[in-house]
Structure 1
Amino acid sequence: MVHRIIEWSLRNRYIVLLLAAILFIWGFFAMKKNPVDAIPDLSENQVIVFTEWMGRGPQLIEDQITYPLVTNLQGLPKIKYVRGSSMFGMSFIYVIFNDDVDVYWARERVLERLSTVTRSLPTGVTPQLGPDGTGVGHILWYTLDAPQMDLGEQRALQDWYVKFALQNVEGVSEIASFGGFQKQYQVTLDPNKLLYYRLSVNEVLNAIRANNNESGGRKFELSDIGYIIKTSGYLQSMEEIGNIPVKNQNSIPVRVSDIGTVQMTGETRLGIFDQDGEGERVGGIVVMRYGENAAAVIDRVKEKMKEVAKGFPEKVKFDIVYDRGELITESVESIKRTLLEEMLVVSIVVIVFLFHWRSALSIIIQIPITLAASFILLNAFGISSNIMSLTGIALAIGVIVDNGIIMSENAYKHLAERYAIWQEKQKNEQL
């Protein structure tokens, strides 16, 4: 079989050269389309289910949320195993699927099962799916350099302006905010006054919720003009919260300000983000979507940042603290330089030892064609151009050249034998 292939190739050398040229061009375009990253993605094919139930201890979270979710998610198709983790106020479920399962198909299966499991959870608890990213999806970290804004204002700018703008970038799965204070109205109740007025905490909560509402009426037409009737009851200040009546005693309303104090504060924090020891900062983490090109996504995010920065207040700007794009560029450029150096050295060695330009050319031309064809296989198997894959290609150059040298040496050997037989035959004919 091998002899027939070699014989056919020798008889149809122009067709072979044409096929090699087509393979090289195909591989060149495959190289352009291949995703570029610094490190290979070795994370498991998983779907994360996140559930929040603030104020509850880890054991209660484990009994009421984690255990019911783990037991109900174990029967999913094409699943390996389910892991659960409980902590104060939060539960994490890691559903690990087989490696050949499409991640979005897996997320759909988990969502279908969660729709039936929610009924067995405590009232008001709703499980949520984590972002469709991987363990190495954190491609960019940034902070807001805003010296004239307090931490609460910076967090509001991040949550209500920057986050929504960057989430629209193609390839971005989530913008995770960190640092600062999330503003909230806080009502601090006096237990002695609650006891004096014979009120409970639930009554105060229900009164505030009932007064923070807006309802619609109907459309009223007068003189061919339609008027929309509605009641606007959303709370807009601390004074309005303090004036909410909770209960009437002897025709005298007991207001929230009578049993406690209302203040603007931040949500309870479990940590802070300090940058370079110069104080707290507010920022975000860009999480890349599953299977995207990291280098391309980073470039698109940076372009969007330039557009977003135009709407910032005065003296506010982005400060990028982690950029995988720089690591990708340095890593890939280092490997590319190594590949070119290897190709050059191997070519010189082949030319010097063979000292026959046609034989050397037949060996050297295999290197770019084989390298280009390798990117076709990388795309076919979903492997990105990273340190590991490009290093493997660099190590394989020696093997590529060895095959060509062996074939050339074997051809020289057989040609020499045939030439010796031909010379012997010529001598015999002359005699």
Structure 2
Amino acid sequence: MLNAIVRFSLRFRGIVIALAFALLGYGLYSLANAKYDVFPEFAPPLVMIQTEAPGLSPEQVELLVTTPVEIATNGVSGIASLRSGSIQGLSVVTVTFQSGTDLYRARQVVAERLATLAGQLPQGVKSPIMTPLTSSTSTVSGIGLTSERLSQMQLRTIADWTVRLRLLAVPGVANVIVFGGEVKQYQFQFIPERLIKYSLTGDDVLNAARRATGINGAGFIDTGNQRMVLQSEGQSLSPTQLADTVLVHENGANVTLGQVAHVI
């Protein structure tokens, strides 16, 4: 067999040389147009949809949230598989598309389908969102913040508003997940006996807290020469200020947040 190949190559050496040059040219062309990456993408294109449903049990999440999302996305063309998971307060639907599907176009179609769910989900359930695009390699690097002077809350604030934003600005970084530490927040711990005494509900306390921490536009004033923009400054930014927020005014006396709840 080997002798036959050698005889053929010597007899038709012009054809063999021409084929060799053609193969060399095709190799150079393929090398110049080859797609390469440090972490090649080997996973099929997929879209993950998350929906928060505070207060609902897994059965309620499955029936009232996950099923409508699945029905809305099931008609998208190019779907290879559709999986879902329902836990307390959270629904996760994973849509896997066939290999070669344009992922950006698929995400656009899925977003249009999810928009049709507006007003159909139970009250209190947040709108379904698609998670950002991530590589199949998932987490590439982990970074920890430590300090001997700063508290856990201060470190979490730095991680959320400084480190995370700078990492997202780095080319190739798709998502940065922050966990741990203490998230800065204000808490209202109700005193049920006080609420009953003043005939108030939890919604009354929450509405008063939202008004105290909200920012409202004050409009503007037009003069003959200019327009002056008005800025209101009355937002409560500390637990003490929130505790002094007036809930109701009856019989010449005020009932404040601090009287019906512990503000911390």
If the length of structure 2 is used for normalisation, what is the TM-score? 0.86
Separation in structure 2 between the aligned mates of residue 100 and residue 14 of structure 1, nearest angstrom: 37
Separation in structure 1 between the aligned mates of residue 9 and residue 234 of structure 2, nearest angstrom: 86
Separation in structure 2 between the aligned mates of residue 262 and residue 232 of structure 1, nearest angstrom: 21
RMSD, aligned α-carbons: 2.8
CA distances 1:195-252 after superposition (whole Å, capped 9, x unpaired): 0011000111111112322222333355845421232343311112111111112121
| Equivalent residue number for residue 109 of structure 2 | 109
Q: CA deviation at 1:54?
A: 2.5
> What amino acid is aligned across from residue 106 of structure 2 in structure 1?
A
Q: How does 1:162-177 map to 2 (within 5 A)?
A: 162-177=163-178
Contact 1:118–1:127 (8 Å) recurs in 2: no
* Greater CA drift, 194-203 or 134-143: 134-143
Bigger RCO (CA 8 Å, 6+ sep)? 1
* SS of structure 2 residue aligned to 1:144: coil
CA distances 1:401-424 after superposition (whole Å, capped 9, x unpaired): xxxxxxxxxxxxxxxxxxxxxxxx
Contact 1:246–1:255 (8 Å) recurs in 2: yes
User: 2:70 matched to 1:70?
Assistant: yes
User: 2:95 matched to 1:95?
Assistant: yes
Q: 1:35 aligns with which of 31, 34, 37?
A: 37
Q: How does 1:129-140 map to 2 (within 5 A)?
A: 129-140=130-141
Q: CA deviation at 1:78?
A: 1.4
* SS of structure 2 residue aligned to 1:246: strand
- Give unpaired runs (5+ residues) of structure 2: none
* SS of structure 1 residue aligned to 2:137: coil
| Equivalent residue number for residue 59 of structure 2 | 59
> What amino acid is aligned across from residue 244 of structure 2 in structure 1?
N
User: Per residue, is there more helix in 1 or in 2?
Assistant: 1
* SS of structure 2 residue aligned to 1:216: coil
Q: CA deviation at 1:145?
A: 3.2
Contact 1:163–1:175 (8 Å) recurs in 2: yes
Contact 1:9–1:16 (8 Å) recurs in 2: no
> What amino acid is aligned across from residue 36 of structure 2 in structure 1?
N
CA distances 1:369-420 after superposition (whole Å, capped 9, x unpaired): xxxxxxxxxxxxxxxxxxxxxxxxxxxxxxxxxxxxxxxxxxxxxxxxxxxx
| Equivalent residue number for residue 118 of structure 2 | 118
Q: How does 1:80-91 map to 2 (within 5 A)?
A: 80-91=80-91
Contact 2:217–2:232 (8 Å) recurs in 1: yes
* SS of structure 1 residue aligned to 2:214: coil
| Equivalent residue number for residue 47 of structure 1 | 47
Q: How does 1:382-393 map to 2 (within 5 A)?
A: none
Contact 1:118–1:126 (8 Å) recurs in 2: yes
| Equivalent residue number for residue 211 of structure 2 | 210
Q: How does 1:193-204 map to 2 (within 5 A)?
A: 193-204=194-205
| Equivalent residue number for residue 245 of structure 1 | 246
